[in-house]
Amino acid sequence: MCAQRNHCRSIIAGRSPTSMSEMSLAPLLGGFDYPFEGASARDDGEELAKHDIGLWECDLSDDSLTWSAGVYDIFGIARGARVLRDDIVRFYEEDSRRAMEALRSYAIRHRRGFTLNVEIRPSQTRRAWMKLSGAPVLDNGNVVGLTGVKQLLRAA
């Protein structure tokens, strides 16, 4: 994605971290009180997965995806399986997919983050609602990717 990955992170919650370890995920998790400092989609994410939360990254040069364990679990896909963005967007219900694609485009164009609740149909399970949060990854001011959090929403 970029030569110095730790220096390519974008703004989340109004500041520009120099690495994931400096970034607080709390604003993306809607106040979920759990210490996720230093987490990234490249980690296995076991602790996050226990709470139906996963981290994701998308490299815009080739639309490749990197997921932590929790995202695989949310979508009902075997952990570590190769995932292609074109295949994954089919898991989103039509209205949610349109809204997600519109916010994704806006985020890339305007270098802004986003959060929305989307309806998904995970592999071999019933429909579910998921909170999707994302922010652009910047390299010298250019958007080179997106990164964020996906959280399965459960009825209380």
Amino acid in position 118: V
pLDDT for 102 beyond 90: yes
Q: Is 83 left (phi over 0), alpha (psi -120 to 50) or beta?
A: beta
Read off the pLDDT of residues 67-88 as tens digits, 9 standing for 90 and up: 999 999 999 999 999 999 999 9
Confidence of residue 93 (pLDDT cuts 50, 70, 90): very high
Least confident of 21-30, 83-92, 111-120: 21-30
d(CA 122, CA 92): 8
pLDDT for 55 beyond 90: yes
Residue 68 is predicted with a pLDDT of 95
Residue 43: DSSP 8-state: S
d(CA 128, CA 44): 23
Tell me the whole-structure pTM to 2 decimals. 0.74
Nearest to 71 by CA among 62, 85, 144, 32: 85
